[in-house]
Amino acid sequence: MLRLAGKVAFITGGGTGIGRACALAFAREGAEVATAGRRKEPLEKVAREIAGAGGKSLALSCDVTQRSLVESALAQAEKHFGRVDTIVNNAGAVVVATVEHTSDADWDRVIAANLTGTFFVSRAALAPLRRAGGGSIVNIGSVLGLVARKDRAAYCAAKAGVSGLTRAMALDHAHEKIRVNCICPTLVETELGMLSIQQTANAVAEIQKRIGEIPIGRLGKPEDVAMMAVYLASEEASWVTGASFPLDGGLTAY
């Protein structure tokens, strides 16, 4: 039996990278999938991929930093599919800088995309999840929400906030059968992940350095994150809530 049969997932940042991998993985496991993001073209491409494999998908334009757009997108997803069971909060942004070299605008942008967006989507999702009889919120955080790295001040702060919000919501909504967990990857081979590498002085050297820090000896793949998200959305994880899982090839085991 498919692990997510009969479920409906709402995935932000669903057109590329981790979000796309989650959308495809959820559809393979039987879920109907609403993808949300600022760029409609990649979302529609994912929808076509899912439809081509016999699944059902809906592409929704949505900027997670805008509360009204978030609420509208979730309402559209629930109306279209009849319910929403799972949220994957994946939208994000990064800036490579210390506090001293982080502009006010960059600070606001990174906090808004990573933390405020997760807050807006999670809050708006509570009513649909209650109507579905409960469900799962899966936040895509970062290992930098658990430990720190040089030149990532705003990003560390935002992702630490996501981990804290995960724990708080898990406690507040456990009695409603709403589970909230956080996946904390290290560097994953995505557009956003490579952007942080490209902002360094020597991208090739930086990639080799980062691989050398990971005991398993490779960067993460979007599918690595997607399969953990599938687990957390499934009934297999029915006793799992309030957790932030390092997904880092052993990086934080030191």
Ranges of beta strands (E only) in the chain are 8-12, 32-37, 57-61, 86-89, 135-140, 178-185, 244-247
Residue 248 forms part of a structural domain? no
Task: Give the tokens for residue 91.
Answer: 């939208």
Catalytic residue (choose from 155, 197, 210, 232) = 155
Residue 71 domain flag: yes
Quote the number of domains for the chain: 1
pLDDT at 28: 98
DSSP, collapsed to helix, strand or coil, labels residue 9 as: strand
Residue 18 DSSP SS3 = helix
195 located within any domain: no
Residue in the structure block whose two tokens are 């669903």: 14
User: What proportion of the chain, given as a percentage, has pLDDT over 70?
Assistant: 100
Q: Give 36's strand partners.
A: 12, 60
Instruction: Supply the pLDDT for residue 196.
Output: 78
Residue 212 lies in a domain: no
Tokens matching residue 79: 């109306």
CATH number reported for the structural domain that contains residue 116 in this entry: 3.40.50.720
Instruction: Tell me if 206 is assigned to some domain.
Output: no
Q: By three-state DSSP, how is residue 177 classified?
A: coil
In a domain, 92, yes or no: yes
Whole-number Å distance between alpha carbons of 196 and 198: 6
User: Which pTM value belongs to this model?
Assistant: 0.96
Give the DSSP letter string of 70-112. Answer: HHHHHHHHHHHHS---EEEE-------B-STT--HHHHHHHHI
Q: Which of the two residues, 108 and 201, has the higher pLDDT score?
A: 108
- Whether residue 122 lies inside any domain: the answer is yes
* Region of poorest pLDDT, from 50-59, 64-73, 79-88, 203-212: 203-212
Give residues with Cβ within 8 angstroms of 90, minimum separation 6.
Answer: 11, 12, 13, 14, 17, 18, 19, 22, 140
**What's the pLDDT score for residue 71?**
98
Q: What is the pLDDT of residue 139?
A: 98
Residue 77 lies in a domain: yes
Structure tokens given for 3: 């692990």
How large a percentage of the chain has pLDDT more than 90?
94
Provide the 3-class DSSP secondary structure of residue 10. Answer: strand
CA dist list (Å): 122 to 107, 115, 117, 126, 129: 22, 11, 8, 7, 10
Active-site annotation holds for 155: yes
Residues 6+ apart with CB under 8 A from 130: 176, 178
Q: What residue numbers bound the domain in which 77 lies? A: 8-185+223-238
Question: Which tokens belong to 66?
Answer: 């805008």
